[in-house]
Amino acid sequence: MEPNETPVETKLPFNNLFLNAGFVNGLNHWWMYVLGIFAAMFGYFLFQVFMVFPLMAAAMNNGITMSDVQTDPNILFDPDKIGMNKNILLALLFGMFIFTFLGLFIVIKRVHKKTLTSVITAYDKVRFNRFFFAFLVWGIFLIISCVVSYFLKPEDVKIQFDPLNFAFLVIVCVVLMPIQTGTEELIFRGYLVQGLSQVFKNGIFPLIITSVLFGLVHMTNPEAKAYGWMTMLPYYSVFGFFLGAIALLDEGLELPMGIHCANNLISSLLVTSPNGVLKTDAIFVTTTENPGTEFLTWTVMALLTFIIFWQKYRWKNFNLLIK
């Protein structure tokens, strides 16, 4: 370098610290992201293959035939129909996400040469205070909506509280639910958004794409079969967009991770339904479901939550969603 020459600074492609974290950390060849998603899927389906054996054994002992399973594969995930303890089945379902996380983590660490933190947040450390605040806010709204529903239509909800089974449910959910929800956030709002942003050179297209993908992967849930894709795909996709927008505005996954964890954990503890993907020993069981009303309730909750976050964290730069 000549004496009067000034160093050239590396120009970062985004004004979003979270997207830049994906750009500046580790290696980012396109094939690495393909490998990462493949590794996550491999872990998920590998555990599912092994999980089928105890599920099939329980089902056949309970009178379920192979033709029944071929007609409706989701029957294996209904503890009442296959005669399996709900908490054991729930733990097995969460086991798939442990292997999913491990598959992705190995690629992030060994292939991308990235730290896990760089895929979670733009900051040096994970902001756990944000996670717990989001969990608290969304959890309070969930509890309020459940209590209101119970008092408005008590005939549609019945109490099935069993102290022993509920205690085991709490243990399973508290230990394993953060892994399940955290893995989904890591993949859709973290890894994929950062990777796709380097292709599209912005944040909005990765946000839209990953939101739709989030909706599509949930179309195997019993709710999609019960109410149809036209009802459930928009719901899950909008939920994904809501979480992704918060992640970009806050430049990290802590808030969406808190919301997602509270949503699944508290819902599993409070209320279960015939068409729900997680059939648990919750305190309440609903006998009727109305997706339209539930979506309206969710919309109000999401709007109030966004306003609280917007005021608390003073979000002003909405270009963080785009560039």
Averages of pLDDT over each 10 residues, the chain, 323 residues: 41 91 95 98 93 88 86 83 90 94 98 97 96 98 89 82 93 96 98 96 96 94 84 94 97 98 94 81 83 89 97 90 81
Contact 207, 244 (CB under 8 A): yes
1 inside domain? no
256 inside domain? yes
The reported pLDDT for the residue numbered 4 is: 42
The reported pLDDT for the residue numbered 254 is: 98
The reported pLDDT for the residue numbered 10 is: 55
Rg (the chain; Cα; Å):
21
The reported pLDDT for the residue numbered 8 is: 38
pTM assigned to the model: 0.92
Contact 323, 202 (CB under 8 A): yes
- Tokens for 250, please give them: 């806050």
Helical residues (DSSP H) of the chain, grouped into ranges: 17-24, 30-61, 66-71, 79-82, 86-106, 116-120, 128-152, 163-185, 192-200, 204-217, 222-227, 229-250, 254-270, 291-313
6 inside domain? no
Cβ neighbours, 10 Å, residue 253:
29
How many distinct structural domains can be found in the chain?
1
φ and ψ at residue 284, rounded to 5 degrees: -115, 155
Entry field: residues in the chain: 323
8 inside domain? no
- Tokens for 322, please give them: 């785009």
310 inside domain? yes
Specify the DSSP class assigned to residue 121: B
What is the distance between the alpha carbons of residues 56 and 269, in angstroms, rounded to a whole number?
A: 27
Contact 186, 3 (CB under 8 A): no
> 131 lies in which domain range?
17-321
Q: How many CA atoms lie within 13 A of 127 on its CB side?
A: 15
260 inside domain? yes
What is the distance between the alpha carbons of residues 165 and 169, in angstroms, rounded to a whole number?
A: 6
The reported pLDDT for the residue numbered 313 is: 95
Burial (CB count <10 Å: 0-12, 13-18, 19+), residue 217: middle
9 inside domain? no
The reported pLDDT for the residue numbered 258 is: 98
- Tokens for 308, please give them: 């609280």
279 inside domain? yes
Map residue 148 onto helix, strand or coil: helix
